[in-house]
Structure 1
Amino acid sequence: MSIRGPEALASLDEAMRDIRREEDEISKRLARSAERISKIRETEAELFRQLAQLRLDPAIQAELDGRISQAEVKARDMMKAHAKDLSQSEKDLAAIDAGLVNSTESRGAALKELDTKQAELKALAARIGASIAKDPGFAAKRKEATELADIAAQSMRKTEQAEADREQKGRPYRDDGLFMYLWERGYGTSGYRANNLIRYLDSLVAGLVKFEKARPNFAMLNEIPLRLREHAERQIALAKQAEAEADALETEAINAAGGKPIRDALDAIQSRIAAIDAEIVAAEDKRDDTAKALASLSEGNDPAFAEALAALAAGLGREDIQTLLSEARLTRTGQDDTIVAQIDDARARIKDEDSETLEQKDRLKTLAARRRELEDIQWEFKKQRFDDPRSTFREDRLVGDLLNDFLRGGISAATYWGQWQKSQNWQAGTTDWGGGVGLPNNGRSNSGPWSGSGGGGGFNWPDSSFGGGKSKPSSGGFNWPSGNSGSRPSTGSSGGFSRPRTGGSQGSRPSNTGFKTGGGF
């Protein structure tokens, strides 16, 4: 079952909210654990006072009690300040989350407006399609654009075949170390430079590998794809120009029929969506920094707080106190045994809390990493305009099993994003009608000849009246092939996700997602 772009993005938004909720819950658990540890330390200190009263003379007892009390007072004061900072961070995070929810809802409303305007433009094009198609000037220009697009597509297919041959047939040459040695030195060309001895030795090597016969073949394998790609790119440029001219004629006709206000409205909606997206990115980055600060406070990493607890723990670990405890263990009085047992229990509870805290810290780090990866995916999703109402996805598993696999770490973010790209299509009967909608590839289908995957390319006109029922590529902005590949890069230019990051880091969910908070992925 296929899913539409807005619903797909809503599922990703819901998964993001689940991650954020679990992050908040773990931060609160860590904060409670740090508080429990500090209180257990205070209890331990009181137990040592009671033990000192039983076993030490008043002078030593007073000295020990003073040291413990001083550490306790410092820890208690730091705990109050720490709790205040923790509470403020929690409020800041809640405010950012509320703002993100509002921004997401505003964006969803804008997408619905976009859907309505696109439907209006589609209906208008359906009404005037027949008359535009009958215009001799348009028909001739559209025919020219179609023919040039076919030529360009054929040229690109030949180029890709030649590049595949270069890779396959050139491998034996590249695997021959002696041949490549001579090739890289430029042996047999005007650029070859060597003294007489090296020339003589190289000639022996050349005779051994039959270099004189093999070099032209290898040179041809490398040269043909380059020349073919240059030719293909020239054909693509001609096809682009013809398409732009045909699209200009269409735009004039649609504007004359009342389409310009609709396209202007679409432009305004897209600008509003872009502004919301910028706000979301800024809020997400701010939230990331705030979440890090909250996690640090929750873990008891505030320097003053940590110092106070360390001082208390050090006071309780002094040699004279440990001696007191050891001697108490050797006696068989009931009071000593009770206090010692309570001290042992307090220390066991602290150990348990520390162990659980380590697990929760690791979980929090995993959640933070997954959240940032999901932010990257959402950014690319919006950048490619996959959330457009006309965008569809064949695989509903993308918001079910595959989403769970990604969240649990079973597949990487790049792999998961690649699955979205493979599954994505544009609804038939949609186009830019001269621009203004801002659809990725400006109305072309992902299966078009310029995407590197073959196929007919472009969107069908609403009533198949334009261009005799054939698909019609739109103008401008399409990802025409360049460089060494005809395919669109899946992520940023550096090979990673392209979401900008500042600071220090970088609808209802369907019932079959299986994604749960509390360690459910």
Structure 2
Amino acid sequence: MITGRQALGSIESSLASERAEIDQMEARLRGLLGDEEGLRKEDLEDFRRLAKLRLDELLEGRVFGEIERVERQAVTLLAERDQAKAKVDEELAGIERELTSLKAQRDAKSDSIDGLEAEIGRAEDATRTRLEQDREYSAQAEAARKLDIQAANAEEKASQSEGELSAKGAAYESNALFMYLWNRKYRTAEYSAFPLFRWLDGRVARLIGYDDARANFSRLREIPKRLREHADRLDSEADAEDQRLMDLWQKARQADGIGALDAKKEAAEGELEEIDAAIDAATARQNALLEERASFAAGEDQNSKAAIDLLAEEFRQADLAKLLRDAQETLRTEDDRIVSNLVARRREQQQIDASRVQLKEALDRRIQRLNELGSVASEFKRRRYAQSDSRFRDGVLISMMLRDLLEGSLARDTFWGELNRQHSRRRPAPGPDMRPRGPIVFGGGSPSRRSGGFGGGRRSSGGGFRTGGGF
């Protein structure tokens, strides 16, 4: 058994773990991106060396000028990228501080609500003790208890009679001749037929003993109907008595100042909802910025892509390609070494590209898991599962379901359906029961029926009722 706050804490812990994993992946991506930028810089230096070795002064100057122009543009773009990323990092740090403050406020407000619930519980205990000596309340409690027992007995008998109708009525309903005459309303004022058909129906009735069977079947159908009407009437009367008892209880609570505590608790819960809304809004901004920061780490932001495209286009220029071809045709070992370095870096670049693609895909999945977890946390609070009176039977099962949900092996509806089945509300311990056997207990600020609350559910008790009849 774990509390709703503990379950929410587990979800938030998973959120923190996902963010830490995202930070690690982004760091690895930034490392790969830095490696790529280093390789391109080394390529530029090698092209400079080749130009010195192979080109005449005029061409050398033009190539150098072009390379330097491209390099300056790329450096400018990357500097702009770093500035944009620094701004995102600053905003993320601000949101993290905001979330830390909001979560501290949430914990404090939840503790305040817990304190108010405990204070309400103690006040209600005192009210119950006082009501033990209240004649009006005791008399009403006894009246409600008696009617509850009567209604329970009536419900038991009505249900049993309805069950017998289903079982014993099958013998009648399966007899085609009997049901033909029954549906024709034979032997009633509503029956009408031509003389020939009336004579034939009479022959059939005598053949199957219809008159006795009809009397038994009518009685079998009528008894459950009457018993159900009686049970429903008693149930309504018992509800009315229970409501009068609840009114006395609420009046006593108000007189003892518990209503003011209820109002304070309701106001605190409203403030808690406002804090949760602020947390959700900050988390949404945080997730959007995390995705933007991930694009920087992967080199997919506008400035990084422009710098990469600029350098790649420059390497595809004819003069640079001619440098490579000419270097391979010379006998100079320095040319060959430079070309060998360029080729090796191309292979290394391909490996880095493959690693970067895989890591970016993994990062995208992590961000998706983070968004899903954030959605779960928001829905968890929206359903008021994080309240202090909230309980879940199996904390381990919840952790397993959460993992399966994030991995995609558990449907969202299934997750929430099972979570709802695991959920219950803790109620304050009942005080002295004013009705020795009655089904009203105290909790949550007002009496409620064990069978499902005022006006709902059926009572059950001992007793029995059997009907005769047969076919």
Q: Under a length normalisation based on structure 2, what TM-score does the superposition of the two structures give?
A: 0.69
Cα displacement string for residues 125-171 of structure 1 (whole angstroms, at most 9, x for unaligned residues):
223325436605652785599689979x99xx99xx9xxxxxxxxxx
> Residues 275-290 of structure 1: matches in 2 within 5 Å?
275-290=274-289
Q: Secondary structure at the match of 2:95?
A: helix
Instruction: Kindly tell me the number of residue pairs found equivalent between the two proteins.
Output: 376
Residue 463 (structure 2) pairs with residue 461 (structure 1): no
Deviates more, 1:401-410 or 1:142-151: 142-151
> Residues 350-429 of structure 1: matches in 2 within 5 Å?
350-398=349-397, 400-427=399-426, 429=427
Alignment partner, residue 19 of structure 1 = 18
> Residues 190-229 of structure 1: matches in 2 within 5 Å?
none
Cα displacement string for residues 367-425 of structure 1 (whole angstroms, at most 9, x for unaligned residues):
22212222222222212222222221111214543333334444344433333212112
Alignment partner, residue 61 of structure 2 = 62
Taking the aligned partners of 1:235 and 1:336, their CA distance within structure 2 comes to 105
Cα pair 2:401 2:415 within 8 Å, conserved: yes
Q: Secondary structure at the match of 2:410?
A: coil
Aligned-residue CA RMSD in angstroms? Answer: 3.9
Cα pair 2:128 2:432 within 8 Å, conserved: yes
Alignment partner, residue 342 of structure 1 = 341
Greater helix content:
2
Taking the aligned partners of 2:324 and 2:234, their CA distance within structure 1 comes to 89
Taking the aligned partners of 2:250 and 2:435, their CA distance within structure 1 comes to 13
Alignment partner, residue 117 of structure 2 = 118
Which residue identity is paired with 1:71?
A: V
Q: Secondary structure at the match of 2:391?
A: strand
> Residues 25-40 of structure 1: matches in 2 within 5 Å?
25-40=24-39
Taking the aligned partners of 2:310 and 2:343, their CA distance within structure 1 comes to 20
Taking the aligned partners of 1:107 and 1:238, their CA distance within structure 2 comes to 45
Cα displacement string for residues 5-27 of structure 1 (whole angstroms, at most 9, x for unaligned residues):
11111111111111122223333
Give the deviation of 1:279 after TM superposition.
0.7
Deviates more, 1:44-53 or 1:343-352: 343-352
Q: Secondary structure at the match of 1:300?
A: coil
Taking the aligned partners of 1:240 and 1:50, their CA distance within structure 2 comes to 97
Cα displacement string for residues 157-216 of structure 1 (whole angstroms, at most 9, x for unaligned residues):
99xx9xxxxxxxxxxxxxxxxxxxxxxxxxxxxxxxxxxxxxxxxxxxxxxxxxxxxxxx
Alignment partner, residue 105 of structure 1 = 104
Alignment partner, residue 296 of structure 2 = 297
Alignment partner, residue 174 of structure 2 = none
Alignment partner, residue 320 of structure 1 = 319
Deviates more, 1:410-419 or 1:59-68: 410-419
Cα pair 2:116 2:265 within 8 Å, conserved: yes
Taking the aligned partners of 1:7 and 1:294, their CA distance within structure 2 comes to 31
Distance 1:123 1:32, change over 3 A: same
Q: Secondary structure at the match of 1:95?
A: helix
Taking the aligned partners of 1:43 and 1:252, their CA distance within structure 2 comes to 85
Which residue identity is paired with 1:329?
A: Q
Cα pair 2:146 2:438 within 8 Å, conserved: no
Cα pair 1:5 1:387 within 8 Å, conserved: yes
Q: 2:141 aligns with which of 123, 129, 139?
A: 139
Cα displacement string for residues 198-248 of structure 1 (whole angstroms, at most 9, x for unaligned residues):
xxxxxxxxxxxxxxxxxxxxxxxxxxxxxxxxxxx9999999887766544
Taking the aligned partners of 1:9 and 1:308, their CA distance within structure 2 comes to 44
Cα pair 1:93 1:287 within 8 Å, conserved: yes
Cα pair 2:147 2:234 within 8 Å, conserved: no
Taking the aligned partners of 2:293 and 2:233, their CA distance within structure 1 comes to 56
Alignment partner, residue 128 of structure 1 = 127
Which residue identity is paired with 1:72?
A: E
Taking the aligned partners of 2:410 and 2:69, their CA distance within structure 1 comes to 53
Which residue identity is paired with 1:285?
A: A
Taking the aligned partners of 1:333 and 1:238, their CA distance within structure 2 comes to 110
Cα pair 2:140 2:244 within 8 Å, conserved: no
Alignment partner, residue 189 of structure 2 = none
Q: Secondary structure at the match of 1:425?
A: strand
Cα pair 1:377 1:413 within 8 Å, conserved: no
Alignment partner, residue 181 of structure 2 = none
Give the deviation of 1:258 after TM superposition.
3.0
Give the deviation of 1:82 after TM superposition.
0.8
Distance 1:277 1:246, change over 3 A: farther
Taking the aligned partners of 2:324 and 2:236, their CA distance within structure 1 comes to 87
Distance 1:24 1:395, change over 3 A: same
Distance 1:35 1:389, change over 3 A: same
Taking the aligned partners of 2:379 and 2:363, their CA distance within structure 1 comes to 25
Taking the aligned partners of 2:149 and 2:357, their CA distance within structure 1 comes to 66
Distance 1:326 1:52, change over 3 A: same
> Residues 435-474 of structure 1: matches in 2 within 5 Å?
461-465=430-434, 468=437, 470=439, 472=441
Cα pair 2:296 2:304 within 8 Å, conserved: no
Taking the aligned partners of 2:248 and 2:395, their CA distance within structure 1 comes to 39
Give the deviation of 1:255 after TM superposition.
2.2
Give the deviation of 1:96 after TM superposition.
0.8
Taking the aligned partners of 1:466 and 1:384, their CA distance within structure 2 comes to 34
Alignment partner, residue 83 of structure 1 = 82
Taking the aligned partners of 1:393 and 1:150, their CA distance within structure 2 comes to 31
Taking the aligned partners of 2:397 and 2:49, their CA distance within structure 1 comes to 62
Which residue identity is paired with 2:81?
A: H
Distance 1:466 1:327, change over 3 A: farther
Give the deviation of 1:119 after TM superposition.
1.6
Cα pair 1:19 1:371 within 8 Å, conserved: yes
Taking the aligned partners of 1:270 and 1:148, their CA distance within structure 2 comes to 40
> Residues 161-310 of structure 1: matches in 2 within 5 Å?
246-310=245-309
Which residue identity is paired with 1:388?
A: Q
Which residue identity is paired with 1:381?
A: F
Distance 1:28 1:138, change over 3 A: farther
Identity rate, percent: 24
Give the deviation of 1:335 after TM superposition.
0.7
Taking the aligned partners of 1:471 and 1:462, their CA distance within structure 2 comes to 11
Taking the aligned partners of 1:136 and 1:76, their CA distance within structure 2 comes to 87
Q: Secondary structure at the match of 1:274?
A: helix
Distance 1:240 1:61, change over 3 A: farther
Give the deviation of 1:92 after TM superposition.
0.8
5+ residue gaps, structure 2: 164-231, 458-471
Larger Rg: 2
Distance 1:17 1:144, change over 3 A: farther
Taking the aligned partners of 1:426 and 1:306, their CA distance within structure 2 comes to 54
Cα pair 1:115 1:389 within 8 Å, conserved: yes
Taking the aligned partners of 1:394 and 1:144, their CA distance within structure 2 comes to 35
Which residue identity is paired with 2:292?
A: A
Taking the aligned partners of 2:130 and 2:267, their CA distance within structure 1 comes to 29
Taking the aligned partners of 1:286 and 1:268, their CA distance within structure 2 comes to 27
